[in-house]
Amino acid sequence: MIRFFLILLILATYYSSYGQSNSPVFGIQYKPIIPASYFNSSEINNEFENFNFILKPRYSYSTGFIIRQAINNTFSFETGINYINRKFELKVKSDIINDNTTFNLRAYEIPLQSLIYIKISEKIFLNNAFGLSVNILASDVYSEGNNYTEFTQNTFKRRRIQTALIANLGAEFRTEKNKIFYLGFSLHRPWKEIARIYPKIQNFNNTSLSNAKYIEVPGNFLTIDFRYFLSDS
């Protein structure tokens, strides 16, 4: 991930050095993902055959490269590419077993959104953006319990390529040297669940869990957005 982030920084610096007044603005961003129950992106509980499963998000993030093209002084268009890494912990609790396993769901996102500015002062602007994103999910994921190999999970993506609604709200500070610092929030909301987790308990104390049981993984998430743009305009 560090190598990916460094490549984005080099590309942003390189392209911005050749920018003109109507040229695209290039930037980089880092977005920690916030667990939020209101957006159905926090802890999920499911009970199957006397086994209680708890799916809990762990520290996750999105990082990427942004291209912003101004339409006029009020509107712009943004696109780019983001790497999304979502980490989860799956716990199982029952009278006979207590265990957990962790795994990561990774994806690449191409956002397409329109942005509107509201000028607050000479250097501070509020902006709001709305659009769609195309998400390319990586491979399916398998992991075993930390204490018992009889407890496993298989996570299967719903589709390799999925779409989602995206929106963000934030403020940016524009320096005299035409650099832009941005702080805001983004919401990522796909149409359906992005994957299904199939937990399995195989012959633990003569008890097993049916393979037909699954846990849906919602694709919703909320982020805090840190952005830095380089511009010659």
pLDDT, tens only, 205-232: 656 666 668 889 988 899 999 999 976 5
Question: pTM of this prediction?
Answer: 0.83
Contact 202, 152 (CB under 8 A): yes
Q: In this predicted model, what pLDDT tens digit does every residue of 78-90 receive, in sequence order?
A: 999 999 999 999 9
Checking if the pLDDT of 103 tops 70, the result is yes
Pick from 2-6, 136-140, 159-163: least confident: 2-6
For residues 154-182, give the mean pLDDT: 91
Q: In this predicted model, what pLDDT tens digit does every residue of 108-127 receive, in sequence order?
A: 999 999 999 899 998 999 99
Checking if the pLDDT of 204 tops 80, the result is no
> Rounded CA gap, 228 and 71, in Å?
20
Q: What is the pLDDT of residue 146?
A: 92
Q: What is the pLDDT of residue 7?
A: 53
Q: In this predicted model, what pLDDT tens digit does every residue of 126-148 receive, in sequence order?
A: 999 999 999 999 889 999 999 88
Checking if the pLDDT of 4 tops 90, the result is no
In angstroms, the Cα distances linking 221 to 42, 100, 159, 194 are 9, 23, 18, 12
For residues 1-15, give the mean pLDDT: 51
CATH of domain 2-16+25-230: 2.40.160.20
For residues 50-65, give the mean pLDDT: 91
Any idea where the domains of the chain sit in the sequence?
A: 2-16+25-230
